[in-house]
Chains A and B, each alone.
Chain A
């Protein structure tokens, strides 16, 4: 464990377990998330990275039979966001998510980005215009789409669609963003654009990113958590995880000996 996270916590995960019906996918995970930093989750396929990420915005609530145990305490309020008394909608209003595959809505580029604002009741045109432009600039997409904001989002390339999804998540000023392997469907150029974006974004938001790409984790993150079979094996600064891990399993994984 890094002794000093050097900045206030955005979230504190305490003894988190998760069950798909009777199948336990996460086992007693305890992990602090530093505010305004990038925390990467690495581990072999099927180890529970996606499952873990989706606890933060209560995505598992959409399907019957799923069950959480433990706590995810969100700061500054210090509320446990997986408590059944907490409204998942309220959690999702604050914690945005970018999925593994781009998932734009069958709407125009503009309406995709404005979606979250409209959900929150915004109707004023000039206000929407401004927010949409801001978000698209934030996602480094503005220059490419500013002349065709009212075209269908499906006409964009895969990399542009993914940045559109980032813009969509940014438009509502989330405090916390979840990325589930956001570059797995992208080419190297699009990937490096997204990575540059992450570095910029962390000035404003806390980022939790799942990646199976070790170089990516090393490039973009400040802290790294290595998971294996539903458990947290090791959590430390990214530098320590990649240069001097405490656990043999971690070392084998980051040096590419398995996974």
Chain B
């Protein structure tokens, strides 16, 4: 009887813990939606989605979200162009080629990369990468999306490589042996059999990397400038959704003002974009999932 009671109380506390995280998530979405609703009482959705300027704090205010969305997308794409190839190749190397001792060396180094505070990466982009790029393009502004994107890309390599590598290592040896037995080389086996077998895990890695890149704040706030600009040119300065949020949050806007509410509107858009990629990732994973 006492044992039974004990079991029940453990079950109840586990349930409450699970409930708490769901409740907190719902709470965040609720606050975002509520404050955004207040925002959209003053700014029509059509202006929000089509206006090409985002200047909510100017006397002549514009509330077009597109400049922030374009900044987010450009830095994310640049970051992925770095992280996806390098991360995937690293994963293939570590999973399929590296000896045990090399693997034991490479993995902690990669993990270290994700342990570096993002503010350090931000200054690295601003003070090292940008000057380097300026030698190639002397006209490159001191703040630009290219160097921010490149550095975010390096920063998220471990996300791509470690999750992809786990997925590749989970591919049964029997499948690889089937390929080797046909006379395939290690490279052919890795590319034609291991990667397709691990595709659902690799897709998960990419989605994680995309979410990280979209949500990255510090690097873009420091290195990309904070001027919202509607452009797809990575050589220009711009602001992202996250950079805007941190910029405005640092000022002292009166609670409940329209400027204050813009934070939540931008946050909601950020949430929706991230959600879209995660849902897409979920379907990709299901599409490519193989049970061995």
- Mask of B252-271 contacts with A, CB within 8 angstroms, 1/0: 00000000000000000000
Q: Which of A86-129 contact B (CB under 8 A)?
A: 89-90, 92-93, 96-97, 99, 101, 103-107, 115-116, 118-120
In whole angstroms, how far apart are the Cα atoms of A104 and B184 in the complex? Answer: 15
Whether a CB of chain A sits under 8 angstroms from the CB of B233 is no
Whether a CB of chain B sits under 8 angstroms from the CB of A10 is no
The one of B172, B177, B183, B193 in contact with A62, judged by C-beta atoms closer than 8 angstroms, is B177
- Mask of A179-217 contacts with B, CB within 8 angstroms, 1/0: 000000000000000000000000000000000000000
Whether a CB of chain B sits under 8 angstroms from the CB of A57 is yes
Residues of chain B lying within 8 A (CB to CB) of residue A97: 181
* SS class, residues of chain B in contact with chain A: helix
Residue from A62, A96, A101 having most chain B Cβ neighbours under 10 A: A62
Whether a CB of chain A sits under 8 angstroms from the CB of B282 is no
- Mask of B166-199 contacts with A, CB within 8 angstroms, 1/0: 0000001011111111111100100011001101
Q: Given A115-B192, A119-B188, A105 and B175 touching (CB < 8 A)?
A: yes
What is the chain A residue whose CB lies nearest that of B185? A89
The one of B99, B180, B290, B291 in contact with A92, judged by C-beta atoms closer than 8 angstroms, is B180
The answer to whether B181 and A106 have CB atoms under 8 Å apart is: no
- 7 A-B contact pairs sorted by A residue (CB < 8 Å): A92-B182, A96-B181, A96-B182, A99-B181, A106-B197, A116-B183, A168-B178
Q: How far is the CB of B128 from chain A (nearest CB, A)?
A: 41
Q: How far is the CB of A89 from chain B (nearest CB, A)?
A: 6
Whether a CB of chain B sits under 8 angstroms from the CB of A154 is yes
Whether a CB of chain B sits under 8 angstroms from the CB of A1 is no
In whole angstroms, how far apart are the Cα atoms of A171 and B188 in the complex? Answer: 18
Residues of chain B lying within 8 A (CB to CB) of residue A59: 177, 180-181
Q: How far is the CB of A231 from chain B (nearest CB, A)?
A: 26
Q: How far is the CB of B243 from chain A (nearest CB, A)?
A: 41
In whole angstroms, how far apart are the Cα atoms of A103 and B199 in the complex? Answer: 17
Q: Which of A23-82 contact B (CB under 8 A)?
A: 57, 59, 62, 64
Residues of chain A lying within 8 A (CB to CB) of residue B181: 57, 59, 92, 96-97, 99, 169
What is the chain A residue whose CB lies nearest that of B184? A119
The answer to whether A62 and B192 have CB atoms under 8 Å apart is: no
The one of B183, B188, B199 in contact with A93, judged by C-beta atoms closer than 8 angstroms, is B183
What is the chain B residue whose CB lies nearest that of A115? B182
Whether a CB of chain B sits under 8 angstroms from the CB of A165 is yes
What is the chain B residue whose CB lies nearest that of A165? B178
Residues of chain B lying within 8 A (CB to CB) of residue A103: 172, 174-175, 177-178
Residues of chain A lying within 8 A (CB to CB) of residue B176: 62
Whether a CB of chain B sits under 8 angstroms from the CB of A172 is yes
Q: Given A99-B174, A119-B188, A154-B290, A105 and B180 touching (CB < 8 A)?
A: no
The answer to whether A105 and B193 have CB atoms under 8 Å apart is: yes
Residues of chain A lying within 8 A (CB to CB) of residue B199: 106
Residues of chain A lying within 8 A (CB to CB) of residue B174: 99, 101, 103
What is the chain A residue whose CB lies nearest that of B291? A154
The one of B99, B177, B184, B196 in contact with A106, judged by C-beta atoms closer than 8 angstroms, is B196
In whole angstroms, how far apart are the Cα atoms of A97 and B182 in the complex? Answer: 8
Q: Given A105-B197, A154-B290, A116 and B178 touching (CB < 8 A)?
A: no
Residues of chain A lying within 8 A (CB to CB) of residue B182: 92, 96, 115-116, 119, 168-169, 172
What is the chain A residue whose CB lies nearest that of B196? A106
- Mask of A11-31 contacts with B, CB within 8 angstroms, 1/0: 000000000000000000000
In whole angstroms, how far apart are the Cα atoms of A120 and B180 in the complex? Answer: 13
Q: Given A89-B185, A99-B174, A101-B174, A106 and B180 touching (CB < 8 A)?
A: no
Q: Given A89-B185, A101-B174, A154-B290, A107 and B180 touching (CB < 8 A)?
A: no
What is the chain B residue whose CB lies nearest that of A117? B182
Q: How far is the CB of A17 from chain B (nearest CB, A)?
A: 22
Residue from A89, A90, A118, A165 having most chain B Cβ neighbours under 10 A: A89
Q: How far is the CB of A117 from chain B (nearest CB, A)?
A: 9
What is the chain A residue whose CB lies nearest that of B99? A64
In whole angstroms, how far apart are the Cα atoms of A106 and B178 in the complex? Answer: 12
The answer to whether B180 and A172 have CB atoms under 8 Å apart is: no
Residues of chain A lying within 8 A (CB to CB) of residue B188: 119
In whole angstroms, how far apart are the Cα atoms of A169 and B182 in the complex? Answer: 7
3 closest A-B pairs by beta carbon, nearest first, are A93-B183, A103-B178, A97-B181
Q: Given A105-B197, A106-B197, A154-B290, A119 and B177 touching (CB < 8 A)?
A: no
What is the chain A residue whose CB lies nearest that of B189? A119
Q: Which of B15-48 contact A (CB under 8 A)?
A: none
